[in-house]
Structure 1
Amino acid sequence: MKVIKWRGQEIAISRIILKDVSSIFEELPENMQITSVECWEHVVFATILALKSFERGTNKAKTVKGEILLRLAGTLQIGEAIKKVGAKRGENFLIVFGKNARETLKEFLEKKALEEAPFPECDREEVKGFFEKTAIVEVL
């Protein structure tokens, strides 16, 4: 688990292994998203941009969770975003944002008995490309 402090709140992220994708969505609260991408930095950046877009009123999705997916996929179509970066069987990132994100994530992992996986090292050049794709939603 990694925790980032941002504007008085926490963003906590864990890499998990999902065996059954269908059951997890029903239990995700509004301050939690699960996604299948390569780098944890990409997820954190998309989450920060999604939160900022709601502060400014420039969000494209109805929820922060949806906005995170749109930004990760670099599209305005939620269906396309789900296909590209939605949770899949295997390794995914689970991210929580809010005042007690670390505790919320820890409790959810324990409650669902989710197996954590180590964080991969992300290539700096690839991360830059992911950041560009994430930010492009702002101008679409």
Structure 2
Amino acid sequence: MKEIITKFGKICIAKVHLTKEKVELLINICGENCQIVKADCPEEVTFATLLALKAFIQGRNKARTVKGEILLRLAGVRQIREAINLVGAREGENFIVTFGTEDPCKLLAEILSKIGVVEVTLNECDKEIVKKSFERIAMTETL
């Protein structure tokens, strides 16, 4: 679990391995301050979350919720349904990101405890992969 302190508030991220049943359970438990995504790198999930929070603060959001905005930005598309198909939670390794609370890591720990999953080690991605991901995510600003 990693905590990131930003000018938009704290963000906490963890990587977990989920079964199909755990995905469904997690989707039901994860509230408005939590998002589950299938992505390659923790850096891209963090960047998409930062841009989503910034968009809401500045009134430039395209989705109705921060959770939806994270999906749109991470996927680099304009339609929620398409974003869910591209980066939505599914069986296997996923990232869970929490935000918008005083202690997002405490919230994340509580969520992980409720569903009974163990974290997978968060490893940084290759810089070239991260660069391409950041470019795709940033393009959402111009869509």
| TM-score (norm: length of structure 1) | 0.96
Is the contact between residue 15 and residue 122 of structure 2 (CA under 8 Å) also seen in structure 1? yes
- Cα distance, 1:9 vs structure 2: 2.4
- Cα distance, 1:8 vs structure 2: 6.3
**Which ranges of structure 2 fall in alignment gaps of 5 or more residues?**
none
The residue that corresponds to 2:80 in the other structure is 78
The residue that corresponds to 2:25 in the other structure is 23
Matching residue's letter, 1:116: E
2:137 to 121, 134, 138: 134
Superposed CA RMSD in Å reads 1.0
Is the contact between residue 17 and residue 92 of structure 2 (CA under 8 Å) also seen in structure 1? yes
Runs ≥4 residues deviating over 3 A: none
Identity among equivalent positions (%) equals 49
Aligned ranges 1:1-140 → 2 under 5 Å:
1-7=1-7, 9-19=9-19, 20=21, 21-98=23-100, 99-140=102-143
Count, aligned residues = 140
Report the Cα distance in structure 1 between the residues aligned to 2:43 and 2:106, rounded to whole angstroms. Answer: 20
- Cα distance, 1:113 vs structure 2: 0.8
- Cα distance, 1:120 vs structure 2: 2.9
Q: Which has the higher helix share?
A: 2
Is the contact between residue 8 and residue 53 of structure 2 (CA under 8 Å) also seen in structure 1? no
